[in-house]
Amino acid sequence: MSLAFNYRHLYYFWVVAKEGGMSRAAARLDMAVQTVSAQVRELEKDLGCQLLKPAGRGLALTEAGVAALGQAEHIFQLGETLPDLVRSAAQVTSVRLTAGIADGLPKLVVQRLLQPVLATPDLRLVCHEGEMADLLADLAVHRLDVVLADHPAPFNPHLKVHNHPVGTSGMGWYASRQWWAAAHRGFPASLDKVPVLLPTTHSSVRGRLDHWFTAHGLHPRIAGEFEDAALLETFGGSGLGVFPAALAVQEDLMQRYNVRLVGPCDGVEEHYYAISTERKVEHPVVRQLLAAR
């Protein structure tokens, strides 16, 4: 096979384009600026066109540079997946799925969303929880195979991701034995007479719950707010207050936290998404997860 250019030169150009300048690229590569610049000029010479042009104190891509960067993105993204693919082929004993879990997503819901793939032979499931922005950044560089969240990824022209709806659940109010009778009697007006626990505004469902209170003319006493849904459910189960959770996990909640459903939160729903990125080689377990919905 005859190559019209050197892939190492292409890699240096890719880093310069990603970093936005020779100096930052040289620092990332731990090389002299002159060396990086010379390698990029060699690539331009091999391809027969200018890829970078001065722009203020930095550099900008020419039209040819934009085209070259697009191809370089595909090439080096594939290169990043090569070690995992090779190791997977050599170690046929396991299939690794690395999932990012948005920190506002209830843990019982996560288990239900992943249930369709948990029976995959020799599955090795790795879950990372974090802020949505951090998870999407890891997804973009293929440190994650999929991100599960309670809201779609926001539009970003520099981030090619796809939002796949994978489920919806109505919400209900749950209470421990200590508060159930008082909360159930005269529901939903009774919520003004019992302590209430809520997710923080970090959760996408919090705004819908606040609107629900307003629509019903309620002004509950908020005894606690929790960023983590599992903590909210744990404190609700211990008797700190009445709390909202998905109706889809009602049986799990009742068994795990010894709570009962007080009543539905009519009109309020949680929506769940699996967020994936563009890949030349699609992850088989992610494909299975999406096909199950």
- CATH number reported for the structural domain that contains residue 57 in this entry: 1.10.10.10
Domain range for 257: 169-270
**Residue 157 pLDDT exceeds 80:** no
**3-class secondary structure, 142:** coil
Residues 260 and 279 reside in one and the same domain? no
Dmax over Cα atoms in the chain, in whole Å?
Answer: 80
Residues 257 and 282 reside in one and the same domain? no
Residues 148 and 284 reside in one and the same domain? yes
- Out of 104-118, 194-208, 270-284, least confident range: 270-284
Does 113 or 282 have the greater pLDDT score? 113
Q: Answer whether residue 195 is part of any domain.
A: yes
Residues 183 and 218 reside in one and the same domain? yes
Beta bridge mates, 175: 260
Task: Give the global pTM.
Answer: 0.64
| Residue found by looking up tokens 């331009």 in the block | 44
* φ, ψ at 243 (rounded to 5°): -140, 155
How much of the chain, in percent, has pLDDT values that exceed 70?
A: 95
pLDDT of 5 reads: 67
- CA of 117: how far to CAs of 49, 90, 200, in Å? 48, 22, 30
pLDDT of 211 reads: 97
Instruction: Show Cβ contacts of residue 110 under 8 Å, excluding neighbours closer than 6 positions.
Output: 101, 127, 148
Residues 182 and 128 reside in one and the same domain? no
Both structure tokens of 201: 């505004």
pLDDT of 1 reads: 34
Residues 161 and 279 reside in one and the same domain? yes
- Which band of pLDDT confidence, cut at 50, 70 and 90, is reported for residue 92? low
pLDDT of 281 reads: 55
Residues 109 and 94 reside in one and the same domain? yes
Q: Answer whether residue 79 is part of any domain.
A: no
Residues 173 and 266 reside in one and the same domain? yes
pLDDT of 29 reads: 83
- Which band of pLDDT confidence, cut at 50, 70 and 90, is reported for residue 30? confident
Q: Answer whether residue 2 is part of any domain.
A: no
**Residue 243 pLDDT exceeds 80:** yes
Residues 53 and 191 reside in one and the same domain? no
Q: How many domains does the chain have?
A: 3
Both structure tokens of 262: 């007080």
Q: Answer whether residue 77 is part of any domain.
A: no
Task: Residue 146: name the closest of 109, 103, 98 by CA.
Answer: 98
